[in-house]
A and B are shown apart, each in its own frame.
Chain A
């Protein structure tokens, strides 16, 4: 009975609610993690948009990669990403996740995050300030609302491509599911 128009209506409601209540799991790699406490506390207060911290990947919607990602940490980030439940989103903080940033020629940091896990939104800056982070969250909300934040769907579809990239950098990666 629920034809295309109907299901899309219901999906809109879900997206609307999803934007109003986001639980974020911040993976404190690199120097970005120190930007999050000011964003959470009284001066910038992200919880007024319904965004709050989550303790474990099972409860989280957004995975924040806040800084340079060494190969050892990438392995842990991949396990955590796969433990999170759909719909899930990834946000990359700072230039180190975009193109390697100031560690561009280091032998043990990855240069481009979205080769290994699908990233919905990057925030430029060599550690973006809380205002930029809030701007990023609002941008992510718009992407969720329009439905274009579909990194997790891409991950399932092009799983082999991501797996090949990951194995290239990490050697073998143990999978759970």
Chain B
């Protein structure tokens, strides 16, 4: 049963973190370089951070980067750890962690649906949520929602309205 500070000391000692921050009680966020992320996750999994809650993604369009966030949780320490990394927006490619957590297969497919990030090693990349979608991935900031809706659906014409 480690407290937040002991955990941070441990992580600093073993892994070379880019940065770390204690957001609030039982909630820590750490940042890795792209290459060290998978080894970091492997190490964390051995330190009984066995629960991968989700993989989410943030589109930083200004500094042309996608940020991947892996939410981990440990039942002994009761601390939820968010492991972040930033990948280049143009290439939008990252390595899969399917062999660490089986469920990652579907989280990666979901992110591919909505952000267009390809995960090498995860062979099944077809549509999970969307159906017959042929536009650019909808969650990207450069996707013009209003324009798409005007093109695809037509509004209800109330009387007197053109």
Contacts and interface: CB of A to CB of B under 8 A. Distances in A.
Nearest to A115: B154
A115 B152 CA distance: 13
A105 B156 contact: no
A169 B153 contact: yes
Contacts of A105: 145-146, 149
Contact of B156 (A98, A108, A170, A171): A98
Interface in A40-94: 71-72, 75
Contacts of B130: 108
Given A105-B145, A107-B138, A107-B148, A112 B131 contact: no
Interface string A114-150: 0100000000000000000000000000000000000
B132 interface: yes
A112 B155 CA distance: 7
Range, interface on chain B:
10 to 19
A104 B152 CA distance: 12
Given A99-B155, A112-B155, A171 B132 contact: yes
Contact of A111 (B131, B138, B148, B154): B154
Interface in B117-162: 130-132, 138, 143, 145-146, 148-149, 152-156
Contacts of A22: none
B131 A72 contact: yes
B145 A107 contact: yes
B109 to A, nearest CB: 16
Give the 8 A-B CB pairs with smallest separation, nearest first.
A171-B132, A111-B153, A99-B156, A112-B156, A72-B131, A107-B138, A107-B148, A105-B149
13 contacts: A99-B155, A100-B153, A100-B155, A104-B149, A105-B145, A105-B149, A107-B149, A111-B149, A111-B154, A111-B155, A111-B156, A170-B131, A170-B132
